[in-house]
Homo-oligomer: A and B are copies of this chain.
Amino acid sequence: MARASTTSDAFNAIAEPRRREILSYLAGDERPVGEIVAALGLEQPSVSKHLRVLRDVGLVRMRCQGRQKLYRTNAEAIRPLHEWTETFERYWQHQLNRVKELAEATVRQGSTVLKTPNPNQKEKS
């Protein structure tokens, strides 16, 4: 099998840096394609293709206005990504605490190897 399609989900869609730039640019309000091209310095076909991917996964919305098409980021579609990364928040906080405590303990004494308090673990195997 090859790599999954960029349109398979939001995770794959945002892997491309240009698409992340587009999403940030369109987060505030809707803009026509031409403005994206000018603002980000990309080729027009490239922008259109990126927008197509973003649209396929629901990360942007489109509206026609005369001969131009106005795109806008659908922030709600980014929420699942935020929630997934959030499940790791407690761990990086815990890791920071461990580093901190270890440093303090090292300063206080020579080698105080303490038992690692594991916050909670998913069951094994």
- Which of B27, B58, B82 has a CB less than 8 Å from the CB of A82? B82
Q: Would B3 and A3 count as touching, CB distance under 8 A?
A: yes
Q: Would B20 and A11 count as touching, CB distance under 8 A?
A: yes
Identical chains in the assembly? 2
- Check A85/B76 contact, CB under 8 A, given A12-B15, A28-B118, A28-B120: no
- Which of B24, B35, B121 has a CB less than 8 Å from the CB of A124? B35
Q: Would A85 and B81 count as touching, CB distance under 8 A?
A: yes
Cβ–Cβ < 8 Å partners of A89 in chain B: 75, 82
Residues of chain A in range 27-76 having any CB-CB distance to chain B below 8 Å: 27-29, 31, 35, 38-39, 55-56, 58, 61, 64, 73-76
- Check A78/B85 contact, CB under 8 A, given A15-B12, A20-B11, A38-B125: yes
Binding site for B on A (CB under 8 A): 3-4, 6, 11-12, 14-17, 20, 23-25, 27-29, 31, 35, 38-39, 55-56, 58, 61, 64, 73-79, 81-82, 84-89, 91-92, 94-96, 116-122, 124-125
